Amino acid sequence: MNQYFIYIMANRAKTLYVGVTSDLQRRVYEHKQKTFEGFTKKYNLTKLVYYETTEDINSAISREKQIKGWLRRKKTQLIESANPECRDLSEGWQETNLDP
């Protein structure tokens, strides 16, 4: 079965980005390396602060849209419920294994 991830990236100023992917480790690596132009590169969103999983892509997309529609306060509450210290959940991942 496939696995899909709904995730939230942040920066020091606590700007938030919500995304969905089938490969969380690769996608976080791309954000950290600023591989693609866009919002996360512009605002230096390199800290994975939240993620959840599902086996259904449609559920993942619906959940991403749901979270994106929330007020910042509600997104922050979601993050703090799972990650009260707002630490980078990708710390210690072997990023070198993803470098082409």
Q: What is the pLDDT of residues 38-81, one digit of tens each?
A: 999 999 999 999 999 999 999 999 999 999 999 999 999 999 99
Strands, sheet with 16-21, edge to edge from the N-terminal-most edge strand: 16-21, 4-10, 47-54
Q: Is residue 98 part of a domain?
A: no
Q: Is residue 99 part of a domain?
A: no
Tell whether the model's pLDDT for residue 17 goes beyond 80: yes
CATH of the domain at 38: 3.40.1440
Residue-number span of the structural domain to which 88 is assigned: 4-92
> What's the total number of domains in the chain?
1
Q: Is residue 58 part of a domain?
A: yes
- pTM of the entire predicted model: 0.91
Q: What is the pLDDT of residue 65?
A: 98
Q: What is the pLDDT of residue 84?
A: 96
CA–CA dist 61, 50 (Å, integer): 16
